[in-house]
Amino acid sequence: MTQTADVAPPTTGRRSKAAARPGGGTHRLHRSEHRWALAFVAAPIIGFLLFTLYPIGFAVYASLTSWNGLGPMTFVGLENYVTLFQDEYFRIALYNTFFYMLGIPIGLALSLVLALALNRRIPGRTAFRAIYYVPVISSLAAIAIVWQFAYNGDFGLINQVLAWFGIDGPDWLQNTATVKPAIIIMAIWKGLGYSMLLYLAAIQGVPASLYEAAALDGANAWQRFRSITLPMVRPVTFFLVVTSIIAGSQIFTEINIMTPAGGPEFSSASVVWYIFRKAFKYQQMGYATTMAVVLGLLVFAITLIQFRINRRNDFSID
Amino acid sequence: MASTLMKPATPELATTPEKRRMGAAAQNRLGNVIVFLILAVGSLAMLAPLLWMFTTALKTKVEVFALPPVWIPDPPQWNTFVRMWSEAPIASGIMNSLIVALTVTVVGSVTSALAAFALAKMRLPYKNAIFLGLLTGLMVPYPTIMIPQFVMFSRLHWVDTLLPLIVPLLFGNIIMIFFLRQYLSSVPDSMIEAAKIDGASYLQIFRKMIMPMIRPAIAAQFILWFMAIWNDYLSPILYLNTPEKQTLQVVIANLNVEFATQRDYPLIMAASFVALLPILIVFLIFQRQIIESVALTGSKG
């Protein structure tokens, strides 16, 4: 998603253009090369035009219409957008979606600690690394199903374990106060291994000489962490924050499986869940597309901000 | 740890700094023990929901709701893993998921590799503009385009078939193109020029030279892509209505709704366990490659 960051090495293109110029004799050969190259990239270009660009254009137009998906599209101008900003449900869904993102900093802090722990010479670290990564590769649908049951107030794993410590847990997913935290906890559990892995790779890339020099200067472990590890893993933190926000803005599967009705009093509904519902349950395709366009703009804005900050800090991690 | 071995070699240096280092080593070892214990408890928390999923599958319907809870069912109801095949469309779900994931990854990897070859090593006007244009596609969230796509495919009467899940992805995967292009950029141009002078066509160069070279990179991306498609849930639920046509993730999600009313949690858990088992096995086999390619994803971000 955000791999776009510091790509665009302009050198190759310039070199090939320069090489194409001298010597008119090779011109025909180059034309044939152009044709072959175009044929090779044709598939992704066609795919992009057909399944990304055209749908975007269509979405923008559909967002200006009243439409049930089957019948004619009636142009209504910005009416859907006006409705959207007065739609209490959309506001709640947006609030919930941002609320879920509170899990991002918690997850990142935990995974950094985990990566530091796994960076030590301890027995079984490969096994640990694999175990913490298992939830990442597991099917989200299956995970959501088992966690939904685990959050059951009477028979769920969570409350059964809490009972050992004398805690009488709530009925997590039926309670407006606990349903969002419950989903956050699950999401952290699921994503921990991924960010841990990226942090671990970054930490292992830090030159040992930096730590040795700091140790000679008498820096203690905390100081070494603050002034070496933390700045060195910043690009990864940045990458993870942005990708997590983009992914978080599209949270759907766990909501739809764990709380099929959007939770008590709509308290777990996310934006994509609401779009899905409006489009495919109530056939309000025009209005749903409006929300989808707003979501797309939101993600686009986040990506742009990333580009800006990326350029300012001049990260070069190649 | 290394400093313990050094101690006898330098007896006269065993002054305060040396002692301090010894102390640090001992402290380090104690720290490692504590870290190990914390990691072990953490691993338990990571695996507990999955283990519980498995043990619940082996319980009777009554044991699931027993208080105090039954942790290890006795006797284990292995029958759950037998009866689920006839009580739910799990076999067709596996089949459909395999058809989608394999078609997409096999064909899509070839189209991606061809495009990566052209973008990395061939002369083409506006090459970088094309590449950047394709990359912008990554910024578009699927929910934004899912409704127009759905309308497109429903006009083609592709709803309730696997085609909408397969066809758009056959055109290549930009993430894969990105990594293969990166990988190919280290290949010297002179090698390809030499092959051209020898009269090889571009397809031959691709087949005989490029493909063998980028095979490890393709394999890593292939696995990640396969897992992503196998685990996909949003696009399959848009298109697939008939139970026998659904992919495995949709099948288990529907089981979850349907069988919960019958309180048949063992069946739900057994089916969910089966849904994540293939990927779990793939992960355990290709653990090193997967972990390495994921770590690479981050560092190239």
Q: Is the pLDDT of residue B3 over 50?
A: no
Pick the closest to residue A235 from A201, A279, A269, A258 (CA basis). A201
Which residue in chain A is spatially nearest to B64 when comparing CA positions?
A155
Mean pLDDT of all residues belonging to chain B: 87
Residues of B in contact with A192 (CB under 8 A): 46
Asked if residue A111 is part of any domain, the answer here is: yes
Q: Is the pLDDT of residue A78 over 80?
A: yes
- Give the residue-averaged pLDDT of B88-105: 96
CA atoms within 13 A on the CB side of B265: 23
In the structure, what pLDDT confidence band is assigned to residue A121 with cuts at 50, 70 and 90?
confident
Chain B, window 234-293: residues with a beta carbon less than 8 angstroms from a chain A beta carbon: 234, 237-238, 249-250, 252-253, 256-257, 265, 268-269, 272-273, 275-276, 279-280, 283-284, 287, 290-291
pTM of the model: 0.87
For the segment A71-93, the average pLDDT, to the nearest whole number, is 93
What pLDDT does residue A39 have?
Answer: 94
Short-list B255, B62, B114, CA closest to A142: B255
| Per-residue pLDDT at B19 | 53
Q: If you search the block for the tokens 């497109």, which residue do you land on?
A: B152
pLDDT at residue A8 is higher than 90: no
Euclidean distance between CA atoms A56 and A293, whole angstroms: 8
Residue-wise DSSP of chain B: -HHHHHGGG-STT-SHHHHHHHHHHHHHHHHHHHHHHHHHHHHHHHHHHHHHHHHHHTS-HHHHT-SSPPSS-SS--TTHHHHHHHHS-HHHHHHHHHHHHHHHHHHHHHHHHHHHHHHHHS--TTHHHHHHHHHHGGGS-HHHHHHHHHHHHHHTT-TTSSHHHHHHHHT--HHHHHHHHHHHTTS-HHHHHHHHHTT--HHHIIIIIIHHHHHHHHHHHHHHHHHHHHT--HHHHHH--SGGGS-HHHHHHHHHHHHHHTT-HHHHHHHHHHHHHHHHHHHHHSHHHHHHHHHHHHHH-
Give how many domains chain B has, as a whole number.
1
- Cβ distance A257 to B32 less than 8 Å, yes or no, reads no
pLDDT of residue A317: 40
Contact A214, A232 (CB under 8 A): no
- The per-residue pLDDT for range B115-156, each reduced to its tens digit, is 999 999 999 999 999 999 999 888 899 999 999 999 999 999
CATH number at residue B167: 1.10.3720.10
DSSP 8-state code for residue A258: H
Tell the residue number behind the tokens 């901000």, with chain if given: A305
Do A16 and B124 lie within an 8 Å CB cutoff?
yes
Quickly state the pLDDT bin for B114 (edges 50, 70, 90). Answer: very high
Distance CA A269, CA A261 (A): 8
Q: Does the beta-carbon distance from B170 to A117 stay under 8 Å?
A: no
Which of B124, B149, B290 is opposite residue A37, by nearest beta carbon? B124
Residue A116, pLDDT above cutoff 70: yes
Q: Which pLDDT score, from 0 to 100, does residue A311 have?
A: 65
Question: Distance between CA atoms of B175 and A95, rounded to whole angstroms?
Answer: 31
Answer whether B145 sits within 8 Å of A55, measured CB to CB.
yes
Give pLDDT, residue A53: 96
Would you say residue A276 has pLDDT above 60?
yes
pLDDT of residue B300: 55
- State how far the Cα of A139 lies from the Cα of A143, in Å rounded to an integer: 6
Number of domains in chain A: 1
Res A26: pLDDT: 60
B67 contacts on A by Cβ (under 8 Å):
154-155
Residue B204 — pLDDT band, cuts 50, 70, 90? Answer: very high
Neighbouring CB atoms inside 10 A of A97's CB total 23
Could you list the residue range(s) of the whole structural domain that residue B148 is in?
87-300
Give me A301's structure tokens: 């804005």
Tell me whether residue B74 is in a domain: no
- Give Cα A188 to chain centroid, integer Å: 13
The pLDDT of residue A314 is: 46
Contacts of B119 (CB under 8 A, 6+ apart): A41, B127, B130, B131, B177, B181
Out of B42, B115, B256, closest to residue A44 by CB: B115
Mean pLDDT to the nearest integer, A279-285:
93
Helix, strand, or coil here: A191? helix
Residue length, chain B? 301
**Where is average pLDDT lowest: A80-89, B30-39, B107-116?**
B30-39
Please, which residues bridge with residue A75 across strands? A65
Contact (CB<8Å) A48/B171: yes
Cα separation of A138 and B281, whole Å? 11
Measured at the CA of A178, the angle between CA A177 and CA A180, to 5 degrees, comes to: 95
Residue B58 maps to a domain: no
Q: For the segment A152-171, what is each residue's pLDDT rounded down to a tens digit?
A: 988 899 999 999 999 999 99
pLDDT of res. B141? 93
A27 interaction partners in chain B (CB closer than 8 Å): none
Q: Provide the mean pLDDT of chain A.
A: 87
A108 SS3 class: helix
Distance, CA of A256 to CA of A278 (rounded, Å): 13
Residue A183 has pLDDT above 90, yes or no: yes
For residue B46, what are the β-bridge partners? none
Distance from the Cα of B279 to chain A's closest Cα (Å) equals 7
| CA dihedral of B6, B9, B13, B18, whole degrees rounded to 10 | 20
Once rounded to an integer, what is the mean pLDDT over residues B65-85? 88
Structural domain includes residue A293 = no
Give CA torsion, residues A298, A97, A249, A237, to 10 deg. 100
Q: Which residues pair with A74 in a beta bridge?
A: A66
Task: Establish if B26 belongs to a structural domain.
Answer: no
Residues pairing with A66 in the sheet: A74
Does residue B74 register a pLDDT over 80? yes
The answer to whether the Cβ–Cβ distance between A150 and B269 falls below 8 Å is: no
From its phi and psi, is residue B202 left (phi > 0), alpha (psi between -120 and 50) or beta?
alpha
Domain CATH code at residue A207: 1.10.3720.10
In a domain, B82, yes or no: no
User: pLDDT value at position B1?
Assistant: 37
Q: Which chain B residues touch A30 with a CB distance below 8 Å?
A: 123
Whether the pLDDT of residue A7 is over 70: the answer is no
Q: What is the mean pLDDT of residues A126-147?
A: 94
In terms of Cα–Cα distance, which of A119, A125, A120 is closest to B31? A120
pLDDT at A43 over 80: yes
Tell me how many residue pairs between chain A and chain B have CB atoms under 8 A apart. 321
> What is the reported pLDDT for A21?
46
Residue B42 falls inside a structural domain? no
Q: Does the structure show a pLDDT above 80 at B16? A: no
User: Is residue A80 assigned to a domain?
Assistant: no
> pLDDT per residue over B252-286, tens digit each?
999 998 887 777 899 999 999 999 999 999 899 98
Element (H, E) at A65: strand A65-66
Residue B165 CA to residue B195 CA, distance in Å, equals 38
Within 70-109 of B, beta carbons closer than 8 Å to A belong to none
Instruction: Decide if B136 is inside a domain.
Output: yes
Query: Could you tell me which residues are beta bridge partners of residue A65?
Result: A75
Which of these ranges, A220-224, B5-9, B38-42, B127-131, has the smallest mean pLDDT? B5-9
Query: Is residue B13 pLDDT above 70, yes or no?
Result: no
- The pLDDT value given to residue B7: 39
The residue range of the domain holding A128 is 102-248
Mean pLDDT of A204-215: 88
**What per-residue confidence (pLDDT) applies to B129?**
94
* A233 belongs to a structural domain: yes
CA–CA gap between residue B228 and residue B223 (Å, rounded): 9
Tell me which residue in B31, B46, B135 faces A4 most closely, judged by beta carbons.
B135
| B205: in domain | yes
Chain B residue with minimum CA distance to A198: B295
Say if B280 falls within a structural domain. Answer: yes
Q: Write out chain B residues lying below 8 Å of A140, CB-based.
A: 231, 233
Lowest mean pLDDT among A211-215, A259-263, A295-299: A211-215
